[in-house]
Amino acid sequence: MSGVYILGANGHGKVVLSVLRSKGIDSLGFYDDAPELCGASIAGLSVLGPLHDFGQLAGAQAIIGIGDCRVRRMVAFKFSSMLWAVATHIHSWIDPQCTVGPGTVVCAGGVVQVGAQIGAHCIVNTGASVDHDCRIGNFVHICPGVHLGGTVTVGDGSWIGIGSQVIQGIKIGKNVMVGAGSTVIRDIPDHAVVVGTPARIVRYQEC
Task: Tell me what the mean pLDDT of segment 165-185 comes to.
Answer: 98
Residues 170-187 have a mean pLDDT of 98
In angstroms, the CA 89 to CA 108 distance is 11
Separation of alpha carbons 54 and 51, rounded Å: 5
**Which residues belong to CATH 3.40.50.20 in the chain?**
4-82
User: Topology of domain 89-204, per CATH?
Assistant: UDP N-Acetylglucosamine Acyltransferase; domain 1 (2.160.10)
Q: Give the tens place of pLDDT for each residue, 91-111.
A: 778 888 899 998 899 998 999
CA of 188: how far to CAs of 160, 179, 204, in Å?
A: 12, 13, 11
Spatial CB neighbours of 168, under 8 Å, sequence gap ≥ 6: 131, 149, 150, 151, 152
pLDDT in the model for residue 173 = 98
The predicted model scores a pTM of: 0.88
Report pLDDT for 119: 95
Average pLDDT, the chain: 91
Q: Give the confidence band of 121 by pLDDT, cuts at 50, 70, 90.
A: very high
Q: Taking a C-beta distance cutoff of 8 angstroms, is the pair 95, 116 a contact?
A: yes
The beta strand positions in 73-122, using DSSP E, are: 89-90, 93-94, 99-100, 105-106, 111-112, 117-118
The residues, any chain, with a CB within 8 Å of residue 24's CB and separated by 6 or more, are none
For 4-82, CATH number out of 3.65.10.10, 3.40.50.20, 3.40.640.10, 3.40.50.11780 equals 3.40.50.20
Residue 173 · residue 156 · CB < 8 Å: no
Bigger pLDDT: 24 or 118? 118
Question: Which ranges in the chain are annotated with CATH 2.160.10.10?
Answer: 89-204
Using CA atoms, how far apart are residues 155 and 138, in angstroms rounded to an integer?
Answer: 7
